[in-house]
Structure 1
C-alpha cells in the first residue's frame, strides 16, 4: 500500500510541476507559475527516493507506468479530455509492466 501511495504522490507532483511549466510556456501563464512548479518537481524527486527498490533505475522504470496512467487521469480531470480506448489500453499495459518490474521475486 505504501508503494502505491509513494508512486501516486510522485506522479501528482511531477504532473503538477510539468503542467506549471507547460502553462507558462504554452498558455501564456505568469512566470510566477514556475515557483510552485519547481517546488513540485523537487517534491517529485524526493518522493521517488522513497520507492521500495534497491536500485534507482528499477524504481524509475516501475514508476513510469504509474506516471502514464496518472497523466491520463490529469487529462480527464483537469484538461477535460476523456481518454479514449487506446489511451486506456496503453496505460493498462504500462501499469502491468510496471508491476512486473517492481513486484516479481528476484534471485540474489
Structure 2
C-alpha cells in the first residue's frame, strides 16, 4: 500500500534529518547520527515498496506526504502549531501528489 510506505518513509526521513539537525544546530552528541543514518536507510527502502513505472514519479508524489508529515513533526515534536497557510499549502501538495500518483497513464 503506497500510503503506508509513504508514511513510514516520511517518519524515517524526518527523524533521520532531525538527528543531524540535533547534532549540528543544537550541539547534540554525535551518537545521534547512528540512529539517524539507520532511519535514513529505512526511508530509502520504504520508498522502493511503492509500485510505479518511474522512481521520479514516486519521489514526486512522496513530496506531498513529506510536507504533511513535516508539519506534524513541527507540531508534535517541536511544539510549533501549524497555521492556516501551512494547512492550505499541505492540502495543495497532497492534491498534487494524488494527481501525480493516481493520474491515468496511457
Is TM more than 0.5 here?
yes
**RMSD, aligned CA:** 0.5
Q: Deviations over 1:35-90 (max 9, x none)?
A: 00000001101111111211100000000010000000000000000000001100
Query: Which position in structure 2 is the counterpart of 1:29?
Result: 28
Q: How many residues align?
A: 106
Q: Could you tell me how far apart the structure 2 residues matched to 1:83 and 1:53 are?
A: 32
Q: Which runs of 5+ in 2 are unaligned?
A: none
Query: TM-score when scaled to structure 1?
Result: 0.96
Name the SS for the 1:82 alignment partner. coil
Query: TM-score when scaled to structure 2?
Result: 0.98
Stretches of 4+ aligned residues off by more than 3 angstroms: none
Q: Could you tell me how far apart the structure 2 residues matched to 1:95 and 1:53 are?
A: 18
Name the SS for the 1:89 alignment partner. helix
Query: Which position in structure 1 is the counterpart of 2:95?
Result: 96
Name the SS for the 1:63 alignment partner. helix
Q: Could you tell me how far apart the structure 2 residues matched to 1:52 and 1:103 are?
A: 11
